[in-house]
């Protein structure tokens, strides 16, 4: 994800990195070429005439398309924001579980008892990230988990859920030993449920894209519209057709392109969520509550975010 | 449900499987024929003239229709996404109940005690799927449930609710035997309520479609609009009328067609939810937590999803 | 509520029962007559000319109106769907309370102890329905409740709330007798709160319609627009004016008519909720969990729903 | 708030009371005068010509404005409906707390013990109403509260919160005396939190209007648009300009006017919430559960609602 | 944040402070200049002709833009309102925790025991505000916290979370000492979780702006549209072009400008949230429940809100 600071209104007009313009340039170039053909055909420089004499049908279809695109973008944005919300909830539940582990036991627990609990909790965002991006979690988990737990987690198919089960077992062990009373077990259980909802929510978003027929239909309509628009504009605005056609195409194509990035928020496109950064921040928040030193945030090379 | 991977923008223009185009072709063919008639009537090839000389009323009605269709699509999509969300919640609650059964009992329970509990929990998504699709659950339940429980469930009218009641009775039995203390009963009860909300939510969606008058009115308006549009376009764009009329008709009809698929998310249309797959994944997630081997996912023939 | 099965796209164009067309016919007839007058005035068949020579102002107002109408329909639909959601929640809470009554008591309760509890729970949806529709609950309650409870409920002003209080007293009685332990009381209490929210939510919807000024303004604007539209269309489309004016009027008036039905979801219009049916289903779900025989669903005459 | 029954579609066209028409009449008169000037200027009755020859820029700005206005109305309506929802929740929590006080204590409490509790609970909606409307609560509170509690509440800055604290103290007193066991304390605490959220939610709405810049910009744009519209219409529709300009102005201004009423739902405009009525109904619902006689609802003079 | 009272409709047209007009004036001046150039070019006062003869393409793009801008504004407003909602929840949780501390302990705690608890609770909104605005919290925290707690908090990286942990430790200390029974610990824990969600929610909003590509694309499109509009208007409305172009530009630019203010609700723009005021009010509400004297609200100089 590319995060840039609030820019001055004029500098924002010229922003390059982080906008979808670079990616769209070839397609906009194509629209430009089509426009030039349309102008040539209209001015009898070509042996055929293709102009439609009217912008009216394009107004109709263009505005209808804007409405549909608006709703679709809304749906994509909701997916993206829900994904962000779930990762925010992951941080909240991590903090709450940390606080509970530190304050709910009814008698003093030796420091080393906490080791595995916090290791599992700190590894959870990494395990989830790797599952969502289908990347190899081995290194990140090995670095954080004690060996037996690591073996168990790496052998399981749903690694974050296995980590969660381990957290539940930790609570059970201390409950049976009398260090955590039954009421406190319930408090832990509530937050473990919350964490479970976060994991399941992320899995839901990653496994169920927007209905394919919907995306494909919008995509097709936008590109057909943009490609035929020059022939509708040329009779009214002549030589200015290329400028306008490219401008309209930019507006529609950029919307469509951003929406397809946002609808899969766990990918690694420019506008996808900074999962690397958020995993480390979640772990760091846990460490801060334990009074441990800060982690270094991932370098901008790994995942793009500009804070200049 | 047809899930296809993120395609290149150009390949997406040509996507066939999973789009609604195949299903709409005959209707678009009809619009094409009407357009040809309109062109012929306009060019005095037919003895009658039917052209309207103006696109203006079509702009008015077309854009109004786009707005209405946009809102209706939104409502359909919300139903679809809520249905998906409920099945996601089913997975979450299944996992949480599994974790609770494994970690909340205050003393060690022998392994065989868990058998019925997990059998009922694993059968639940299948029972729910069959209820929602009004298919025969006998085989799927017989394969998963012990005989007495199977008899009881198959005799009941609301099978998932009966399974839930059984889960509650299991908790009660162990609570009365002192293996689950009263606090833990409450924790189970909370997740059983959650599961009950999932079942009830799905029943609500399946039993209450969008108001029929609403669907029928939008449907009618879209088709009348598309069928009369060629006569409005022909005077301005002449020979290009068929292309445009079919394009606009595609946009509107496809929207309407996708919305009617999405509004009944538990059906077996291309864009409906992959209930088969999700039932098996839910059961598999439960097995994973118990350290059991993976289930084989249903084959693509049974329910369409492309992962190529 | 009229529920009809998914129809073939062509049969749907001709649907009559359950659409708002029958109710709108006289008003559409009026628009037709106005259109004929407009055509006559335009063709100098009448001594006055009223045509406006232009569709432009109608496009402006028509599209603006579509946007406003879209938002208003959204608000109406949200009310309708929230009402349905609340009745779904009523079913969920009923099932959960049934499960709790059957499984939470810490020792065996004789069967007759449950009689009053389930009688009150089964009578609740009926009491709520009668309150929402302002109909006489006497018969339905007398058939379900033991005499003393019936007397008490019928004498109270908010009958469902009194039934709820009785459920709470039942729990209290058994809690004081030691059959329900304090933790289980909390579990009951949680679901009683949920039921209370359902009742209060329904009362809120029924007592607070959409702001009257809002409905009246939209209504007025739609009808003025439809009535004046023929004069705007006649100059461009001449003889086709009646067809188009009626078509546009149908689109706008039907939207407005459906929205006013949906905004009062507890009424008995075609598109209102099937409260009769849902009350019986809720009661039947409770009976199913107790292993009792099925209730007969209300006949289609009582409340319209087509399942052919 | 003015609540009127469902009217016949024709009578609704003529509704006067409860619509915003009376309040807008002078401004619509102004638009009418501007239109007459525009017609006069166009027909060379005035020495200047001001007509614009085209409706096109007005279509552009008018439709854009409709979209913006639609979104803004949505936001205002959401505030209004959230406020109503909060007052509905106030009723629900009041009923739940009443049920809890009557059924949760583990041994019989003498009737007089409940006096202060129900007095504070019944006074709460009145205290909240006066805080939200910034009116003097002294009379309403003095009539309901015992003297020492009244003194304490009237001396505090946030009166509903002080009443809530008192409810908590009542629970504490009986808990320490052993009449309410610790589990039941938690059940009370949950609903006290709910009540606290209601109070805080209302304070949030009343203290944070829609961003001023947003309201002022929409307001300004609507009025400038309506005032200049006649000059754009006169060339196309001539003598009909005043009718149309006033009609369009009514549509836009009424939307804007209703939105500004709804966005401050606790005021005393026609479309604001009937807080007087709701306070009394909440108190009455509490009395009904205790078997006490009905309160008389506030007379229509005090706050406008028509139930004819 | 600038809060102004409900103004008369006419005075509202002229509002200056709190509107975005001052900030937009230079840009609107630029549009005015471009319009003058367009008029001059059209009237052959310049050696080049740039007019486009038609408004049609501008209608198309302008309305599409309005739709996109509408959705984007919606998203920005949702962020703003969610932020406000979170701060409202902060107040609610603060009150609930205050009530719990005062009423839940099962035996009398000496007054001085509460000192640290309420100090930490009162400091929390200030710590959160400084974190969100990246300002120096040292003074505000030093004035409220006892020295050892101050040292600990100032040394941590996430100060509000550290304060929360301290609140949990306070509960633990008294729980171990037997003054707070296990059930009450759960009640505290629930509200501490709620507070944790508030803190995490605010961090989420501040760390994740709207996708940059989305903002930049809308921004660019709006400015390009406004800058080219005069050339499209000049042929139809001639000398009135500057008036209209500036009016349309105001509508679009102001929407865009307000949306960028709202999307970062914790800043110090005119329309951002009054965090200073809300921090003090939250602290004051806590003091009121303890019967302490009122705090003075921050002066209007510190953060702009007009209550005249």
Asked if the model's pLDDT at residue E308 lies above 70, the reply is no
Q: Please indicate whether, in this complex, the C-beta atoms of A185 and B186 are within 8 angstroms of each other.
A: no
Instruction: Please write the tens of the pLDDT for every residue from D273-282.
Output: 889 999 999 9
Q: Which pLDDT belongs to residue A302?
A: 46
Is the pLDDT at B181 greater than 60? The verdict is yes
**What pLDDT was estimated at residue A26?**
92
Least CB–CB distance from A60: residue in B63, B74, B104: B63
Rounded Cα gap, residues C97 and C90, in angstroms: 10
pLDDT in tens, D205-220: 999 988 888 888 999 9
> If we measure between CA atoms, which residue out of D203, D135, D193, D210 comes closest to residue E284?
D203
Asked if D258 lies within 8 A of C217 by C-beta distance, the reply is yes
C48 touches chain D (CB under 8 A): no
C66 and B68 within 8 Å at the Cβ level: the answer is: yes
pLDDT tens by residue, E56-85? 788 888 888 988 998 888 999 999 999 999
Note whether C93 and C194 are within 8 A (CB). Answer: yes
Q: How confident is the model at residue B307 (pLDDT cuts 50, 70, 90)?
A: very low
Q: Please report which confidence band the pLDDT of residue E144 belongs to, taking 50, 70 and 90 as the band edges.
A: very high
Per-residue pLDDT averaged across E132-159, rounded?
95
Q: What was the pLDDT predicted at C5?
A: 58
**E252-267 pLDDT tens trace:** 999 999 998 898 999 8
Mean pLDDT, residues D255-263: 90
Interchain proximity A62–E67, CB inside 8 Å: no
DSSP letters for chain E? ----PPPPHHHHHT--TTSSHHHHHHHHHHHHHHHHHHHHHHTTSSSS----S-SHHHHHHHHHHHHHHHHHHHHHHHHHHHHHHHHHHHHHHHHHHHHHHHH--SS---TTHHHHHHHHHHHHHHHHHHHHHT---HHHHHHHS-HHHHHHHHHSSSHHHHHHHHHHHHHHHHHHTTSS-HHHHHHHHHHHHHHHHHHHHHHHHHH-PSPHHHHHHHHHHHHHHHHHHHHHHHHHHGGGHHHHHHHHHHHHHHHHHHHHHHTSTTS-STTS--HHHHHHHHHHHHHHHTTPPPPPPPPTTTS-----
D166-188 tens-digit pLDDT: 999 999 999 999 999 888 999 99
Could you tell me the pTM of the whole model? 0.93
pLDDT for A307 equals: 42
What is the pLDDT averaged over residues E132-154? 95
Partners of residue D55 in chain C, C-beta under 8 Å: 54, 56-57, 60
The answer to whether D66 contacts C64, with C-beta atoms less than 8 Å apart, is: yes
Which residues of chain C are modeled with pLDDT < 70? 1-6, 47-53, 299-308
Nearest to D285 among C59, C158, C223 (CB): C158
In this prediction, residue E49 has a pLDDT band, given cuts at 50, 70 and 90, of: low
CB proximity B267 to A under 8 Å: no
Tell me the pLDDT tens digit for each residue of B277-289: 999 999 999 999 9
Nearest CA in chain D to C63: D63
Q: What is the pLDDT of residues B263-306, one digit of tens each?
A: 899 988 778 888 999 999 999 999 999 988 888 877 654 454 44
Q: B64 and C59 in contact by Cβ < 8 A?
A: no
Chain C residue with CA closest to B157: the answer is: C288
Cβ count near B136 (within 10 Å): 9
Put simply, the chain B residues between 168 and 227 with a CB less than 8 A from any chain C CB are 168-169, 171-172, 175-176, 182-183, 185-186, 189-190, 192-193, 196-197, 199-201, 203-204, 207-209, 211-217, 219-221, 223-224
* Two structure tokens written together for B246: 């079919």
Between chains, do E103 and D165 touch, taking CB under 8 Å as contact? yes
**How large a percentage of chain B has pLDDT more than 70?**
92
Residue C221 half-sphere exposure toward CB, CA atoms < 13 A:
31
Q: Please say if the pLDDT value at position D68 is more than 50.
A: yes
Mean pLDDT on B189-210:
94
Average pLDDT over residues E215-219: 90
Q: Which residue has the higher pLDDT, C204 or D270?
A: C204
Instruction: Give the pLDDT band of residue B132 (cuts 50, 70, 90).
Output: very high
Q: How many CB atoms lie within 10 A of CB C17?
A: 12
Q: Which of C121, C289, C290, C91 is nearest to B163 (CA)?
A: C289
Distances (CA, A) of E235 to C140, D50, E39, E224: 74, 15, 9, 19
Task: Say yes or no: D55 contacts chain E, CB-CB below 8 A.
Answer: no
> CB–CB of E220 and A66 under 8 A?
no
Inter-chain touch E168–A15, beta carbons under 8 Å: no
- pLDDT beneath 50, residues of chain A: 301-302, 304-308
Q: How far is CA D40 from the centre of its chain?
A: 44
Q: In C, which residues are within 8 Å of D85 by CB distance?
A: 204
Residue scoring higher pLDDT (D140 or B270):
D140
Work out the minimum CA distance from A59 to partner chain E, whole angstroms: 5
Q: Is D6 on the interface with C (CB under 8 A)?
A: yes
What is the model's pLDDT at position D248?
92
Average pLDDT over residues B240-263: 91
Say what the pLDDT of residue E180 is.
Answer: 93
Closest CA in chain C for residue B169: C103
């Amino acid at each position: 994800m590319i995060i840039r600071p609030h820019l001055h209104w004029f500098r924002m007009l010229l922003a390059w990195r982080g906008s979808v313009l670079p990616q769209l340039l070839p397609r906009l170039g194509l629209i430009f070429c089509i426009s030039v053909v349309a102008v040539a055909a209209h001015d009898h420089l070509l042996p055929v005439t293709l102009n439609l004499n009217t912008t009216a049908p394009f107004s109709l279809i263009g505005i209808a398309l804007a409405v549909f695109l608006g709703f679709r973008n809304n749906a994509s944005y909701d997916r993206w924001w829900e994904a962000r919300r779930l990762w925010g909830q992951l941080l909240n539940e991590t903090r709450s579980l940390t606080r509970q582990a530190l304050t709910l036991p009814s008698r003093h627990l030796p420091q080393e008892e906490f080791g595995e609990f916090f290791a599992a909790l700190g590894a959870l965002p990494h395990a989830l990230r790797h599952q969502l991006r289908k990347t190899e979690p081995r290194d990140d988990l090995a670095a954080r988990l004690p060996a037996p737990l690591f073996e168990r987690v790496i052998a399981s198919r749903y690694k974050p859920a296995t980590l969660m089960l381990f957290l539940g077992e930790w609570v059970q062990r201390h409950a049976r030993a009398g260090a955590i009373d039954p009421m406190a077990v319930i408090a832990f259980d509530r937050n473990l449920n919350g964490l479970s909802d976060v994991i399941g929510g992320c899995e839901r978003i990653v496994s169920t894209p927007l209905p394919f027929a919907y995306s494909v239909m919008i995509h097709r309509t936008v590109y057909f519209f943009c490609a035929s628009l020059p022939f509708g504009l040329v009779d009214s605005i002549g030589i200015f057709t290329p400028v306008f056609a490219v401008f309209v195409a930019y507006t529609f194509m950029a919307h469509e392109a951003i929406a397809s990035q946002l609808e899969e928020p766990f990918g690694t496109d420019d506008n996808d969520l900074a999962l690397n950064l958020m995993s480390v921040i979640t772990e760091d928040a846990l460490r801060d509550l334990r009074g441990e030193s800060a982690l270094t945030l991932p370098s901008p090379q790994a995942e793009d975010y500009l804070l200049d």
